[in-house]
Every structure is written in structure tokens, then in C-alpha cells.
Amino acid sequence: MEQVITQPSVRSQHLWWQNGVIYQIYPRSFQDSNGDGVGDLQGIISRLDYLQWLGVDCVWLSPIFSSPMADFGYDISDYQGIHPLFGTMEDFDELLGEVHNRGMKLLLDLVPNHTSDQHPWFLESRSSKDNPKRDWYIWHDGKADGGLPNNWLSVFGGHAWEWDEVTQQYYYHAFLKEQPDLNWRNPQVQEAMMNVMRFWLDKGIDGFRVDVMWHMIKDEQLRDNPPFPGSTFNPNDLIYDHYTPVYSTDQPEVHEIVRMMRAVTDEYDDRVLIGEIYLPIHKLVTYYGQDNNGAHLPFNFQLLTLPWDAPAIAMAIDEYEGALPAEGWPNWVLGNHDKPRISSRVGREQAKVAALLLLTLRGTPTIYYGDEIGMRDVAIPMNEIVDPQGLNMPDLNISRDPARTPMQWSGEINAGFSTHKPWLRLPFNSGRVNVEKQKGDMYSKLHFYRKLISLRKEHAALNVGSYRPVYADQQLISYVRESGNERFLIVLNLSHRPAYFKPRQESYSGTVILGTEIERIGMQVEDIITLGGDEGLLIGLS
Ligand code: GLC
């Protein structure tokens, strides 16, 4: 028999979390199976076929663990228990099996920075000053004059120090007072959390998204944070953003902890460690670690935080590409449960352009559930707000509820999410904007996302190919992705007005493979390419 020598494809040299597309599920809002108005694990299982049809490779679940739900699961009282709202450990095992049966991966949320104040560790810690777990949290005396230990504020508003009457000390909480921060300088804390990781990795999950990774270690001397330069600073307004958290976050010692987490991840084959980190690019990339011994993917939130402005985005992409360490794999995020949805932030018209950007940039994309059908932030009346960030700072209109509303599946009651009134309301148009409707409409966002995901799978150039910026102006950004003899040009009009792609040095010609307007597919383009407002093109270069 003739011996066929196959070259390993470029793609097979990459790992699943480099090739794949990640899909974030906010479990409370994906699918309710037991009619209580809150999503659950059996609900997710019943929708896995949809995710497979969409073509995503990996599902990340926001926390599903035991929790008093002060911060909707980001306040954990048992890291190894499933909250009954979501189901049981058997349900979880079934979900993991079903995800794997479909050739997909499952990531869990690890929340190591803080626990719930109802976690047995904290109950012990607060019971007395000489309790063996006292040092598991950050306790401190007040200043000599009785004042707070320092000026640090909670991300959710107000002081970050809570007075404990029984033991006459303050404890630190970067978020709610119901979320005391663990003391990561304590080796027992480190060991306990590494064992939590092992518990889930032993079960066979494929990795973690680590909550607020850059918060984990604080300045040992607890120095005051300086006011944010130029802010209309008033020491009485207690707004987190009015200070620069240089001493309460992103401390040099955090990298040692990340390295430890990575080492545990590496005790298992083929797992991934992702970090939630909101920092400027030059600091973000340090979380890859020395010689890549840090997080595999420090989440890159540039597309979430920057204004939707062509020069700014073009610059951020290039800056990020340039700042990545040699072996660091890029990634891009367009939405999550903490930020306004992309369709609300950049507008309905730009949502497809944003999808084209997310799914053709070099690096692992993360899709937030519902963005694939263009779900928008839902207007939640004041008296229905449940998010603590919204409730604590009512004047700032920063509740995260609008981006956490139930998935819109169909025109059935409650959009097919639940037979019961959902925990957050649906928009008035959910009978029109839903998965079922869009499945039947080839022009829909859903089909656009699905097509993009499948093109990404089909073409190594789009998936793992090189990235080269080509041309940007006040309206457009464009770049080439290339691998072997495949070359694609992506041209995106981030404005509502027509625009002209006119690179100065080179001329490009090819065929439109996919466009925000389907009618463009198959058209030949050459030299100066004219784009309509809100138009994006994926062009196969000849
Ligand atoms: C992260 C989570 C957010 C949560 C916070 C505190 O930023 O994404 O939802 O409120 O951490 O755990």
C-alpha cells in the first residue's frame, strides 16, 4: 500500500482552547427546567444541542455553587457543592458527560478572591481573634483615632472595611460586605483553594475562568490608594473609580499565586486557566507569566471597554498583538455578565460588524449567551433591580441586570425560558427576537454567527493564521489573516456612513465569502472597496 505522509496541519499544532470558540452561560438565565423562574443545570443540558448546532466548542458557566446569592453566586459558601436552585451533583455530572459526548469542553468559574460571609471558613475566622482560621481573611485594627485601616473602597460602593463588633476588628471586602476577601498570603488558604481546583479537575472539567484574578493579593502595608488624576474627587463620595487602586489590586506577588494555579492546572492534561483581569494592555500581558507559566488566557476586554471608534480599536488590536509575550495566545471578549450587551453598547446596526471582528481576529473568542441573536440590555424598572451594584449606586445607572435577562428561545410563554415568571423580566419584543425565529431566517444574526463560527473552523487562516493590519481610518479597520496559501481580508466599517477601503501601498482583489449583508456574498472586489454604513466584509483573496 502506498504510504501517505501527512503533514500535521497548522491547526493540529494548536490546543483546543486556541482553536475553539468559548460560549459563556449565565446559569440563572439560560433555561429553567423545573418551573421556578431561574435557570438550572437540567435546563442547560436540554439546550446543548443548540450550542452544538451553533458550533461553539466550549461552555463556561458562571458560578453554580452553594451560595446565599448576595452577588448571584459570586459569594460562595461551599466550593464543592451545587446550589439546589441549579440542581444536584448528579445533574452536574450528567451535564459534564453530555457536554463531552458532544465533543465540547466545560469550564467552571473559580472565585478565589473572596468567599461568602456564610462560608464555614469565615464563620470560624470571625468567631474569635485566636481562631486558627483568623488569618484566612484580612482582619485589621482601626487607626489609633478609631478610623478605618485605610481609604480603600468597595467596587460596589462604600468603604471596603466592615467592622466586626464581636472581635473588635475590621475585615476587608473588595466587593460586598457579604464577600470577605481571603488572605492569599496565608499558605493554608492557598492549599485549600488548590484542593478546590483539584476536586473539579479530578471530575474532568476542562478548566477554570478565575474571578477577579488581579485582586487576589493586596499591599502588605495597606497603603492608601491615590485619587484618580483629574477626577472630580471628593473624599466623601466613596466611588471606587475616583481612586486608582494601585495598592489594593495588581500586586507583584499575585503572579506567584497565578503560577501556583497554573501548576495545578498542568497536573492534568489539556486543561485551561483563564483569568478575569481588567487592566491596561501592558499590565494585562504580565498575567501570562514568566515563560508562560501564568494564565493561558488573561481575558482581553479591550473590545468591551474601549469606545467603538475605528482608530481606537485599530490601535488597541495592534498594541495588544505587539505586547503579547512570544508564546502568549491572544483572546477577545465582546460581552459578559458584568457589562452592557454589545447590541446596546454599539447599537443594533453595528452588532454584526462586532461579531465579524470578534470571530476573525487572531485569538480565542468568547461569546456571551444571547449576543448571537442580538439580545439587547433589557430596561429593568427601578423597583425590579436586584443586582447589588445597581442597588448600591442607584444614581449611576450601572445595574448589571439588563445584560443578565433570560435567554430568548421562542415565541412561547416567557420566551420558552420558563413556565414561571422569570427572575428578571424579558423585553417586550421577545416574541420577535428569539432563537426559533432567527433559525428560520437566513438573514438573521444567529445564522451570521453560525456561519462565521463554521468558516473559522473550516479555514486555518481565520483560526490560527497570522494577523497583519492593512488600513484604518476614521471609519474603517481592516486586516489580513493568512496561513499557508489561504489569505483573507477583513474590512469593517465601524461607522453608519459609507466608507472607502483604499490602502496606499498594496492593491487587493478577491471574492466576498461573507458579509453583514448576505447579498454581497460571491461578489468580486478589487482595489478601492466601497462599503455601506455598518457593513463588514470577509474577503477571500485571490
Ligand atoms: C467578577 C464577576 C462579577 C462579580 C465580582 C465579584 O467581576 O464577574 O460578576 O460581581 O467578580 O465576585
% the chain with pLDDT above 70: 98
At residue 89, does pLDDT exceed 70?
Answer: yes
Helix axes 445-458, 351-360, angle to 10 degrees: 10
Average pLDDT, the chain: 96
Query: Which pLDDT value is given to residue 146?
Result: 84
Torsion of CA 381, 403, 228, 286, to 10 degrees: 170
Average pLDDT rounded to a whole number, residues 498-518:
95
Q: Which three cell numbers stand for residue 142?
A: 482601626
DSSP state of 67: -
Report whether 364 contacts 20 (CB < 8 A): yes
Report whether 58 contacts 100 (CB < 8 A): no
Radius of gyration of the chain (CA): 24
Mutate to test the pocket of ligand 1, among 61, 175, 176 (most ligand atoms within 8 A of CB): 175
Q: DSSP 3-state assignment of 62? A: coil
Query: Which pLDDT value is given to residue 83?
Result: 98
Cα 155 from Cα 148, distance rounded (Å): 17
Catalytic (active site) residue 124:
no
Tens-digit pLDDT profile for residues 310-358: 999 999 999 999 999 999 999 999 999 999 999 999 999 999 999 999 9
Contacts of 351 (CB under 8 A, 6+ apart): 342, 343, 371, 374, 445
CA of 441 to the centre of ligand 1 (A): 36
Distances (CA, A) of 51 to 26, 57, 99, 359: 14, 8, 10, 16
Our answer on whether the CB atom of 74 is closer than 6 Å to any ligand 1 atom is yes
Higher-confidence residue of 71 and 2: namely 71
Query: Which pLDDT value is given to residue 230?
Result: 78
Which residue(s) pair with 541 in the sheet? Answer: 510
Q: DSSP 3-state assignment of 410? A: coil
Our answer on whether the CB atom of 211 is closer than 6 Å to any ligand 1 atom is yes
Contacts of 144 (CB under 8 A, 6+ apart): none
Query: Which pLDDT value is given to residue 90?
Result: 98
Tens-digit pLDDT profile for residues 230-278: 777 677 778 898 899 999 999 999 999 999 999 999 999 999 999 999 9
Cα 273 from Cα 281, distance rounded (Å): 19
Tens-digit pLDDT profile for residues 204-241: 999 999 999 999 999 999 999 999 887 776 777 788 98
Query: Which pLDDT value is given to residue 352?
Result: 98
Query: Which pLDDT value is given to residue 11?
Result: 67
Query: Which pLDDT value is given to residue 360?
Result: 98
Cα 32 from Cα 39, distance rounded (Å): 4
From the list 232, 224, 218, the residue with the least C-alpha distance to 180 is 218
From the list 427, 411, 417, 424, the residue with the least C-alpha distance to 34 is 417
Our answer on whether the CB atom of 212 is closer than 6 Å to any ligand 1 atom is yes
Ramachandran bin of 415, using left for φ above 0, alpha for ψ from -120 to 50, beta for the remaining angles: left
At residue 420, does pLDDT exceed 60?
Answer: yes
At residue 119, does pLDDT exceed 80?
Answer: yes
Distances (CA, A) of 404 to 32, 209, 415, 416: 14, 18, 15, 16
At residue 13, does pLDDT exceed 90?
Answer: no
Cα 76 from Cα 85, distance rounded (Å): 14
At residue 6, does pLDDT exceed 50?
Answer: no
Strands 78-82 and 509-515: unpaired
Q: What is the DSSP string of 327-378?
A: TPPPEEE---TTS--HHHHT-GGGHHHHHHHHHHSSSEEEEETTGGGT----
Q: How confident is the model at residue 5 (pLDDT cuts 50, 70, 90)?
A: very low
Q: Whose CA is nearest to atom 3 of ligand 1?
A: 338
Structure pTM?
0.97
**Residues 291-296: contacts with CB under 8 Å, at least 24 apart:** 291/327, 292/325, 292/327, 292/328, 293/259, 293/262, 293/263, 294/255, 294/258, 294/259, 294/262, 295/210, 295/213, 295/258, 295/261, 295/262, 296/17, 296/207, 296/262, 296/265, 296/272, 296/329
Cα 180 from Cα 473, distance rounded (Å): 47
Q: Sort 452 into a burial class: Cβ within 10 Å, 0-12 / 13-18 / 19+.
A: buried
Average pLDDT rounded to a whole number, residues 416-428:
98
Mutate to test the pocket of ligand 1, among 60, 74, 210, 305 (most ligand atoms within 8 A of CB): 74
Catalytic (active site) residue 49:
no
At residue 504, does pLDDT exceed 90?
Answer: no
Query: Which pLDDT value is given to residue 10?
Result: 62
Cα 134 from Cα 339, distance rounded (Å): 35
Contacts of 205 (CB under 8 A, 6+ apart): 96, 106, 107, 108, 271
Mutate to test the pocket of ligand 1, among 182, 211, 368, 392 (most ligand atoms within 8 A of CB): 211
Type of residue numbered 170: Y
Q: Which three cell numbers stand for residue 100?
A: 463531552
Tens-digit pLDDT profile for residues 363-411: 999 999 999 999 999 999 999 999 999 999 999 999 999 999 999 999 9
Report whether 96 contacts 57 (CB < 8 A): no
